[in-house]
Structure 1
Amino acid sequence: MAVTAPHDGSGTRSAYEQRGWCAAPFELEPELLASVRSRVEAISRTARPEVVYEEGSDTVRALHGCHRYDEVCAALVRHPAVVRLAEELVGEPVYLYQFKVNIKGPREGQEWPWHQDFAFWAHEDGMPEPRAVNIAVNLDEVHPANGPLTVLSGSHRLGLVGDGAAESGDDWRSHVSARLTHTVPEEVARALAVEHPPRQVLGGAGAVTAFHPSIVHASSNNTSADRRAVLFLTYNAATNAPAHPKRPAFLVERDTTPVRAAVHTG
């Protein structure tokens, strides 16, 4: 399995369009990273609907919509470099569609099966087109043993290749558990990997990566003693908002006002 470095030196947009993912030309500032990590750890200790646990466990699996009630997370949404990257890759003004933190506890964090994010956004929310982008921020070092994201490079150009199901009607928790509603079958992913090389997305804490809504991806169980937390900011084109989303607002943001980047004072 090939391994990526935090920065690969290729043009950001051209790499994104060709492979469906790219390393950002910047990292999160250490002070901001520390603040976000602190807030994530504090939120993880609270009892809120937005806090999701591993099945049959009290181990936190994910946090959702933190920007709606936490100032540090809300400020991150407007980070100038992050907003510029999202606008560059989407090609027009964007709004925040989804904010989540996926956490894999040491030796307990479970896998995410092969899937495409756009399958959920199209079937469950009614997003018209995959004109959105995921910006992933490593809150911890991500290495081969703690459950890194694996992407099938270039698979974003294939459209939806999974189950093709209509709206599931399931409880939204089936969209965030290890038993996902919309998946790409293992045998299909193996076949796709012949033409679309698997790449593990690795990097230190603070590294930033962008990946396309239609790219086929998965992540393995955390078999190490190290936590793996990755924060995902999903920005959608302002002209691509779902007309009538039904899932909770902490999963699908209702405010479609384009994000205005904060004035950088550093």
Structure 2
Amino acid sequence: MPVATPPFHDVKVRYGREGWFPMPFTFGTAEITKMRESIEVISAQNRPEVVFEENSTAVRAVHGCHDYDAVCHRLVRLPALLDFAERLLGGPVYVYQFKVNMKQAREGSAWPWHQDWAFWHKEDGMASPEAVNIAIFLDDVTEENGPLQVIPGTHHLGLIDPEGDKREPTHDWRQHVSAALEYTVPDDFAASLAGTHGTQRFIGVAGTAVAFHPALVHSSSNNLSEHRRRMLLITYNRVSNAPANPARPEFLVSRDSTPLVRVEGDHL
């Protein structure tokens, strides 16, 4: 994983303005193969961290893999990833959330427009969106297989709640991992935002990595192709921003906010 890092000031300016940034490296075939093999093994296991599409045996996502899989455990500690997260967030970090969204061929359902921070703030008590998502493509991502789509700049808007939703959180984590999300940005409001800010689809070959802000409005469409679209997502949170009393399962919200220590070398 060779790293050719642009001046970090330029990275922070672009990330601050748009809420996303293409990582300055790609993962090689050997690393992607190891990640895929680990996820295949986990997906076949009967465990609560494995979530299925509604009324289907198709795996929708797997969660918390860095806690029980050696490859994922090492992945989150690679210097290239930790250096980026710590410099961007301005201090030590830990893994707040780890997941792989699977998008099986012809079965992977959409994720509606939403902000990740809506769940983390309302359900877990995260005070500030001082975290960063890093998405790693485990497969080629195309227009047809359900790419992640963001509305640049919307992280500046804070929590978006156009309907004035004052509901108490349900703490039903199943509504946070299904196509019927509990906290969404209505389609008409998202369309208005897109008309102002435009949209950006994350498309690229396997091994591509992209960073994006947890308050950025984003979604993804159904997988209409014959090809899977697996995307691994690591959320690094600043240690000082760790919520005090999260209620959701630990595989969705890590309780261990000990600063991560780098492994040697950017390889798996």
Shift of 1:167: 4.3
Equivalent in the alignment of 1:110? 109
Instruction: Trace 1:5-154 onto structure 2 (pairs within 5 A).
Output: 11-154=10-153
| TM-score for both structures, normalised by structure 1 | 0.94
Q: Distance in 2 between matches of 1:136 and 1:14?
A: 20
Equivalent in the alignment of 2:169? 168
1:13 touches 1:88 (CA, 8 Å); kept in 2? no
Give a deviation string over 1:134-193, Cα, whole Å, max 9, x none.
010000011100000000011110111136545421421100000000000001101111
Amino acid at match of 1:84: D
Q: Distance in 1 between matches of 2:83 and 2:237?
A: 13
Give a deviation string over 1:61-120, Cα, whole Å, max 9, x none.
000001111111100010111111111221211111000000100011000000000000
| TM-score for both structures, normalised by structure 2 | 0.93
Q: Which 4+ stretches in 1 moved above 3 angstroms? A: 162-167
Equivalent in the alignment of 2:257? 256
User: Which is worse superposed, 186-195 or 108-117?
Assistant: 186-195
1:12 touches 1:25 (CA, 8 Å); kept in 2? no
| Partner SS state of residue 142, structure 1 | coil
| Partner SS state of residue 91, structure 2 | coil
Q: Distance in 2 between matches of 1:261 and 1:13?
A: 22
Give a deviation string over 1:185-237, Cα, whole Å, max 9, x none.
00110111122111101111010000001000000000000100000000001
| Partner SS state of residue 120, structure 1 | helix
| Partner SS state of residue 36, structure 1 | helix
Q: Distance in 1 between matches of 2:79 and 2:242?
A: 22
Amino acid at match of 1:222: N
Give a deviation string over 1:15-72, Cα, whole Å, max 9, x none.
2111000100011232121101100011111111000000000000000001111111
Amino acid at match of 1:116: Q
Q: Distance in 1 between matches of 2:168 and 2:93?
A: 25
Report which of the two has the higher share of strand: 1
1:147 touches 1:219 (CA, 8 Å); kept in 2? yes
Amino acid at match of 1:32: E
1:12 touches 1:24 (CA, 8 Å); kept in 2? no
Amino acid at match of 1:93: P
| Partner SS state of residue 218, structure 1 | strand
Percent identity over paired residues:
51
2:76 touches 2:95 (CA, 8 Å); kept in 1? yes
Aligned CA RMSD, in angstroms, stands at: 1.6
Equivalent in the alignment of 2:237? 236
2:103 touches 2:223 (CA, 8 Å); kept in 1? yes
Q: Distance in 2 between matches of 1:165 and 1:260?
A: 40
Structure 1, gaps ≥5 residues long? 1-6
Q: Distance in 1 between matches of 2:52 and 2:218?
A: 21
Q: Distance in 2 between matches of 1:90 and 1:132?
A: 7
Q: Distance in 1 between matches of 2:137 and 2:168?
A: 31
2:146 touches 2:220 (CA, 8 Å); kept in 1? yes
Q: Distance in 2 between matches of 1:27 and 1:84?
A: 15
1:139 touches 1:206 (CA, 8 Å); kept in 2? yes
Q: Distance in 1 between matches of 2:168 and 2:255?
A: 19
